[in-house]
Amino acid sequence: MIDRDLIKRALAEDLAGGEDITSVATVSGSEKVVADFVARKAGVLAGIEMAKTVLEEVGLSDIEVLVHDGSAIEAGTVLMTVRGDTRAILLAERTALNFLGHLSGIATLTRTWVDSISGTSCLIRDTRKTTPGMRQLEKYAVRMGGGTNHRMSLSDAALIKDNHIAAAGGVSKAFSKVREKFPATEIEIEVDTLDQLREVIPLKPDLVLLDNMNPAQCREAVALVSASIKLEASGGISLENSKSYAETGVNYLAIGALTHSAPVLDIGLDMRVE
């Protein structure tokens, strides 16, 4: 996935209307080098096409992508090689690595969560807790790690939460208002207790979000809906207890940390002369 406008803004931000004073001072402008993008740590790759497009944006064209998004990589793996103007490579270096490291970090963390619930039918799903302006890319990285996406925007589906219920005057009124105004839209309702779940079951929402319920409560919720409504667990879930939640029979685990807390995967650029 590529966001060219974001790349342009990132490069412009790095130059801030000026020039790369260090490279202009130390590199004559005629040098040609080879540079390898190298994984310093093992993980899952995402963002290689973004990094490649950054290189192209500064005028480089001799670029060889060696590993593709979604691939598991080991420390020391050469991901991409670029040949060309030294100044151009140095100009693109940090921006390309920022995208590559950030998106690969999300894919890597997602894969860890996916592996933690292996053997179950449950899916790991992201949230809208994304970096402003980078939602499409970050959710793409989640998919590269084996996760699945929740709604991309507020216009994709309805999620009726406590504040909506309060504003509408009750859960039934909130549901009816959404169904009346957007009859073809998927509706999800958030509940905090099993009593609230019993109240919303007759409404037949497409999905119910079980907020901050423990595994025992989630298991009871699964029994209550009897597969008639999809269930998503959210809150209080960690890697350590994720399988306990997944084994209850819920359809999804909603994990905001996939995008808001993923550590950057360490990837570097090594320059050499052929």
Please list the active-site residues.
94, 129, 161, 190, 211
CA-nearest of 33, 61, 87, 92 to 272 is 33
Tokens of 151: 């709604």
Amino acid identity of 14? D
Whole-angstrom distance, CA of residue 272 vs CA of residue 4: 28
Please provide the distance, in angstroms rounded to a whole number, between the alpha carbons at the two ends of the chain: 31
H-helix or E-strand containing 192? none
Phi, psi of 14 (to 5 degrees): -70, -35
Q: By three-state DSSP, how is residue 9 classified?
A: helix
Helices of type H across 117-248: 135-144, 162-168, 171-181, 194-200, 215-225, 242-246
Whole-angstrom distance, CA of residue 223 vs CA of residue 229: 11
